[in-house]
Structure 1
Amino acid sequence: MGAARRRRRLPADAAAPRRRAPRHLAAAALARGGPADDGARAGRSRGPDGMVRPDGGGTMTPTRSRCARVLLLALACALALAGCVNLPRSGPVTASEPDLPVPQGIGLFARGPEPGATPQQIVDGFLTASWAGYSDEFLVARQFLAGPAVETWQPLEQVRIYADTPAPEYSRTDDGAVRLSVIGEGSVDSAGRYTETAVQTTLETDFTLARNPDGEWRIIDLDDGVLLPVANFRSVYVQSALYFLTPELDAFVPDVRWYPQHNLATALVRGLLAGPSPWLQPGVVSMVPAGTRLTVESVLVSEGVARVDLSADSLAAGPAERPLLHAQLERTLRDVPEVQELEITAASAPYEVAEPVPELTAYPYTARPVVVVDDGVLAEVTGTTAEALPGAGLMEGLDPHHPALGYETDSPLTVLLDGTDRLVTAPAAESQSFLLAQGSDLVAPSVDRRGWVWTTPAESTGNLIAVRPSGDLVEVNAPWLEGGTVRALRISREGARVVVLWESAGTTVIDVASVVRGLDGVPRGLGDPVRIGDRLSTATDAAWIDEYTVAVLGTSAAAPSPSVHLLPIGGPSTRLPAVEGAVSITAGRGDRSLVLATEEGRLYERNGASWRATLEGVADPALPG
């Protein structure tokens, strides 16, 4: 590839997860960068002279008609058409969801304060105007404020998302402030990182009001950020991802973010230049040179071309680094429907990229049939039958459980637990099983792309075990696990992350952490984790289904029977129908690939929105990983 002013069409990525089109009215604005502060409050000034605080006491009735006061104006309903790509003529047939273009949405507009409005009506009107603020830069919303709050309120510091039902409840605090109570669903910080709240979490926020010189009530003290019901959040924000690189520079690693739809390309580029989330940073690399920023306020997208003008700092990237930087920008912008091509400049001058831009994947998965334990031997599932693998005759004397498969195309590595305390290789046609590791009550193994097999004793001492068939064995430092009980672990497809299901002081915890490797690729430790799945009460097994979603078998207050929960690393969870007696799961690519086994030995696969039994008398299904 030559000078960067040459446009490069963004390649299609069959492995990329599909982004759903929003289902509701869309309003938009670009999220402001900076650290989040969930508990941040505006200054406590009581406003200019002449303002009077409202009287305390009393309970207000819920308001159910806020949306009726919003004036809807249809600005545009045009769909951005994706660029055409050549259809593949070879390769496996796979199922996929259509990649629907995201509509640019309909603007929301709200009235300012009504004369004579009560304190509750002012708060109610402010919330409505806040929803519309993504269309008018919160100008109308600030009309409901007075005093320093007009300038100090930071609407994009955080987004707190609450359930559409039940309706918000209003009450008065002892000092007369208006208190809003809602059922929390999640929050998004100023960098676009989503955190799901625990089930039935009540979110309370107070608004202090006073009369202005005209005798009208106005808000003079409030929390930073915006409160949005789920429906409005989905219309305004869209799930995207920033893409970084594995240390080996051979695969992408996503960092999920939520940004307003408007100016999405700008938000994504700014996020990528700012770097990965703290939990992910130890396990990934980026080719963005230090100090690199956009030279203008936004990324210009015109006629399908995204023009990214980087600061002169970007010139510090060497000839081998620039194609990878280009690849990061390219993959990150692929989530923007109206972008089909990318043009990079540095300080308005051509950005020279002499080497070809590599085609990397974010989900390096190798498909193969499901392997199960069938009457004491390993067997491969084909349709509704299971056929013993070569080497089955050499398994006499073994007590096989929890097989795990490598990613090799030919003669893939296969390991299993022999009883509960021995990790061994599976015997092949002409080779015996041999011991890899030993420990008390080992958890089911997981194999990464580098050929490392991971396990750990259930009672953790703060270390995991990683071993190769060659005999190399290392202890992987994870001090945050010390004293806990590990139930399951799974290494991500690209090998830069791990999900760990464990119990701490009797509480189920689902953590995702980066895998820290040495220059030789040997795993050395885990970074500090990020927590997901707070809505689950128990968790017993897990499987990666795409580049940023983990399927977890567990229970919750809403589902006391074991169910598969789909947990994005930075997004709202969903639950699949329960299967009575489910004890283990595995998956390949997508939630349609999920396979589930019950304690009675029945194997299930996805069938539409439900499950279908395919085999009996088997246990512990396994796919690569």
Structure 2
Amino acid sequence: MTRRRATLGLAAALLALLLTACAGLPTTGPVNAGRPVTEEDGDTDVAFVPAGPSPGATPAQIVEGFIAAGSGTRSNWATAQEFLTTEFRATWRPQAGVTIYRAGERALSEPAEDEIVLTIAPEATVDAAGAYEVAGEGEIAIGFRLERAQGEWRIAEAPDGVILDETRFRSVFRSYELMYFDPSWHFLVPDLRWFPTTNAATRIAEALVDGAPSPWLAESVVTAFSADVDLAQRSVPVRSGVAQVSLESGARQLESGILDRMQTQLRESLAGAGIPEVDMLVDDQVLTAEAVSVAPTRIDSRPLVLTDDAFGFLSGTQIEEILGLSAAVRSVDAVAIEVAASRSFAAVQTAAGSTARVEAGAAVTEIDARRGLVGPTIDTEDYIWSVPAEDPGAVVAIGPDGAWHEIADAWSGATRLSAMRISRDGARIAAVVRDGAHPSVWVAGIVRNEDAVPVALSDPQLLAVLPGDGVGLAWGDATTLALSYTDGGQTFVLEQPVGGPGSSLRAPAGITTVAGGNQPGGVRLRDEDGELYVQRGASWQDQFSGVRVLATQQGTPR
């Protein structure tokens, strides 16, 4: 079906911003205390107030107004419900999910007087748990059946959930990180979710306490919130920057260590909503709990580079070497390098194509000599992961003892793999693959046995479809990947959240390697001439020349 731009422009689709206006501010008189701050009161995000149905509106205008009202999240999408019959209001579930489409690219048709069909090419969907998923190619048709109620057209049948264009979606919804632990309980692992900005604390707490990790991540993380722990009320007020999470009485019987981990997950999850502290309560009494310390995943902010003369961290024009390890790395003819968080060893791809383990003060050990390997990557248990580009399912994790562990269910459906990187928390792994027609970015959870040995990958999750071949791959912060790709002869860098829409930036030509930083915007690039580029806003600055290898880091020593 050919896409057509909808021609129905309605006042109902023109949404006003809810702004608080004051006629004047008093400058004299006593200072009076205001009402206690709740989450509703303290929410400073802009809220959309869409228009309700107009008298005499046609079926097409009712459907257009209903779609526009998807941006009004207050009171469970109260305005959108005005477009429904009384009977349908009782069953329609707006929080079932979101269908996201390109702004301006939709078409309405009217097969019958009481039937409207909306045709869109969806970009993505968000499910009831807030998980973002890239949509497949092609268009979909969404049907609406209408009835007359007291002389006015109203919607009697429609899918659950709301429909938003991509621009409005990013204004109404925001991404939040639900924090889980890795199986060792040392690292926090984020699970990105999308919720309306209104009542964000309540939505985050519900998802964390009463929900579950995303299916692709479920076997790779653990949570302190067992099935015996439930929210006592579906509201999380925020007073003076402290979220008050009420739990059922069973929480009072939990061990202090479990409560501390619960406190950690809640505090770190709610921090993304701008809430710095949290109290867990049972029957209005605060539970005693303290957040536990977790292993950091930050890396050194300086680029890690190999030149003809040195290997180490670049500071200005000087390179600070890593004691013991730098000399060992320089002894190898390396084309790709990843350094462990301990900085005691590195995984190296040699010019001959093999994968080697390079340790400070020890002999270089070749651990994988298969043909056509991609650059190796290291996990938190010191396993080096290696895979041939033309055989994505043949992933192995090689332990410090040199033993190979074949990874089951690795990148099922991929026909080629050009890059693979493990997250610094050791729970996730990303790859640039081809699954047929298009190059794509995938992520999967790492499944380990009781001895922390990696044994399998979860079903992969599609993060993005690339318009051209991808080059390089790196983790930026804990929820963002960076890679380079070509499109129409031009080079771009994509910063891709692990569950959300990505953003692309034009980059220099000939990029061979991408390295991440500690946050989005901290990307470094190396081109085929050995030039090192660092990101400066929306442009790239040539920082250094003569870089043979731009290495990646897996953390900092604890």
Shorter-chain TM-score tier: 0.7 to 0.9
Give the 5 Å matches for 1:29-428.
Answer: 62-66=7-11, 70=15, 73-75=18-20, 103-115=44-56, 117-132=57-72, 134-146=73-85, 148-165=87-104, 168-173=106-111, 177-182=115-120, 184-197=122-135, 202-212=139-149, 214=151, 216-273=152-209, 274-315=211-252, 317-337=254-274, 339-353=275-289, 356-360=290-294, 364-367=297-300, 369-375=302-308, 378=311, 381-384=314-317, 399-408=333-342, 412-426=344-358
**Contact 1:155–1:225, Cα closer than 8 Å, also in 2:** yes
Distance apart, 1:539 and its partner CA: 1.9
Query: How far apart, CA to CA, are the structure 2 residues paired with 1:444 and 1:413?
Result: 15
Give the 3-state SS of the residue equivalent to 1:333 in structure 2: helix
1:436 to 358, 367, 370: 367
Q: TM-score, normalised by structure 2?
A: 0.85
Query: How far apart, CA to CA, are the structure 1 residues paired with 2:496 and 2:364?
Result: 36
Distance of aligned partners of 1:479 and 1:73 in 2 relative to their CA distance in 1, 3 Å threshold: closer
Distance apart, 1:177 and its partner CA: 2.8
2:461 to 527, 530, 543: 530
Give the 5 Å matches for 1:459-498.
Answer: 459-460=390-391, 462-481=393-412, 484-498=415-429
**Contact 2:134–2:463, Cα closer than 8 Å, also in 1:** yes
Distance apart, 1:378 and its partner CA: 4.9
In structure 1, the gaps of 5 or more residues are: 1-58, 78-100
Match of 1:7? none
- Per-residue CA deviations over 1:1-42 (Å, capped at 9, x if unaligned) read xxxxxxxxxxxxxxxxxxxxxxxxxxxxxxxxxxxxxxxxxx
Query: How far apart, CA to CA, are the structure 2 residues paired with 1:617 and 1:112?
Result: 65
Q: TM-score, normalised by structure 1?
A: 0.77
Identify which of structures 1 and 2 has the higher relative contact order when contacts are C-alpha pairs closer than 8 Å and 6+ apart.
Answer: 1
Counterpart of 1:324, as a letter, is R
Give the 5 Å matches for 1:523-562.
Answer: 523-556=454-487, 560-562=489-491
**Larger mean Cα displacement after TM superposition, 572-581 or 101-110:** 101-110
Give the 3-state SS of the residue equivalent to 1:623 in structure 2: strand
Distance of aligned partners of 1:487 and 1:121 in 2 relative to their CA distance in 1, 3 Å threshold: same
Distance of aligned partners of 1:106 and 1:141 in 2 relative to their CA distance in 1, 3 Å threshold: closer
Query: How far apart, CA to CA, are the structure 2 residues paired with 1:412 and 1:552?
Result: 27
Counterpart of 1:594, as a letter, is V
In structure 2, the gaps of 5 or more residues are: 23-41
Query: How far apart, CA to CA, are the structure 2 residues paired with 1:436 and 1:601?
Result: 27
Distance of aligned partners of 1:62 and 1:472 in 2 relative to their CA distance in 1, 3 Å threshold: same
Distance apart, 1:114 and its partner CA: 1.3
Give the 3-state SS of the residue equivalent to 2:80 in structure 1: helix
Counterpart of 2:367, as a letter, is L
Distance apart, 1:377 and its partner CA: 7.7
Match of 1:619? 548
Distance of aligned partners of 1:472 and 1:64 in 2 relative to their CA distance in 1, 3 Å threshold: same
Distance of aligned partners of 1:212 and 1:324 in 2 relative to their CA distance in 1, 3 Å threshold: closer
Counterpart of 2:99, as a letter, is R
- Per-residue CA deviations over 1:142-192 (Å, capped at 9, x if unaligned) read 3333374333322221112233345x4322337973233345343211111
Counterpart of 1:608, as a letter, is G
Match of 1:563? 492
Query: How far apart, CA to CA, are the structure 2 residues paired with 1:395 and 1:269?
Result: 47
Distance apart, 1:490 and its partner CA: 0.5
**Larger mean Cα displacement after TM superposition, 510-519 or 413-422:** 413-422
Aligned residues: 531
Give the 3-state SS of the residue equivalent to 1:137 in structure 2: helix
Query: How far apart, CA to CA, are the structure 2 residues paired with 1:415 and 1:128?
Result: 52
Match of 2:509? 580
Give the 3-state SS of the residue equivalent to 1:289 in structure 2: coil
Give the 3-state SS of the residue equivalent to 2:381 in structure 1: coil
Give the 3-state SS of the residue equivalent to 1:254 in structure 2: strand
Distance of aligned partners of 1:234 and 1:392 in 2 relative to their CA distance in 1, 3 Å threshold: closer
Query: How far apart, CA to CA, are the structure 1 residues paired with 2:212 and 2:337?
Result: 37
**Larger mean Cα displacement after TM superposition, 123-132 or 575-584:** 123-132
Distance of aligned partners of 1:212 and 1:308 in 2 relative to their CA distance in 1, 3 Å threshold: closer
Give the 3-state SS of the residue equivalent to 1:144 in structure 2: coil
Give the 3-state SS of the residue equivalent to 2:177 in structure 1: strand
Distance apart, 1:285 and its partner CA: 0.6
**Contact 2:440–2:466, Cα closer than 8 Å, also in 1:** no
**Contact 1:255–1:276, Cα closer than 8 Å, also in 2:** yes
**Contact 1:310–1:346, Cα closer than 8 Å, also in 2:** yes
**Contact 2:310–2:319, Cα closer than 8 Å, also in 1:** no
Across the aligned residues of Structure 1 and Structure 2, the Cα RMSD in angstroms comes to 3.2
Query: How far apart, CA to CA, are the structure 2 residues paired with 1:107 and 1:208?
Result: 26
Query: How far apart, CA to CA, are the structure 1 residues paired with 2:320 and 2:294?
Result: 35
Query: How far apart, CA to CA, are the structure 2 residues paired with 1:307 and 1:61?
Result: 46
Distance of aligned partners of 1:70 and 1:593 in 2 relative to their CA distance in 1, 3 Å threshold: closer
Counterpart of 2:389, as a letter, is A
Match of 1:47? none
Give the 3-state SS of the residue equivalent to 2:89 in structure 1: helix
Distance of aligned partners of 1:128 and 1:606 in 2 relative to their CA distance in 1, 3 Å threshold: closer
Query: How far apart, CA to CA, are the structure 1 residues paired with 2:354 and 2:500?
Result: 37
Query: How far apart, CA to CA, are the structure 2 residues paired with 1:450 and 1:173?
Result: 60
Distance of aligned partners of 1:76 and 1:189 in 2 relative to their CA distance in 1, 3 Å threshold: farther
Give the 3-state SS of the residue equivalent to 2:518 in structure 1: coil
Q: Once the two structures are aligned, what percentage of the paired residues are identical?
A: 28
2:519 to 590, 595, 602: 590
| 2:440 is equivalent to residue 513 of structure 1 | no
**Contact 1:460–1:482, Cα closer than 8 Å, also in 2:** no
Query: How far apart, CA to CA, are the structure 1 residues paired with 2:99 and 2:460?
Result: 23
Query: How far apart, CA to CA, are the structure 1 residues paired with 2:76 and 2:302?
Result: 53
**Contact 1:502–1:508, Cα closer than 8 Å, also in 2:** yes
Query: How far apart, CA to CA, are the structure 2 residues paired with 1:102 and 1:218?
Result: 32
**Larger mean Cα displacement after TM superposition, 295-304 or 140-149:** 140-149
**Contact 1:287–1:317, Cα closer than 8 Å, also in 2:** no
Distance of aligned partners of 1:462 and 1:149 in 2 relative to their CA distance in 1, 3 Å threshold: same
Query: How far apart, CA to CA, are the structure 2 residues paired with 1:183 and 1:104?
Result: 29
Distance of aligned partners of 1:175 and 1:510 in 2 relative to their CA distance in 1, 3 Å threshold: farther
Distance apart, 1:65 and its partner CA: 4.1
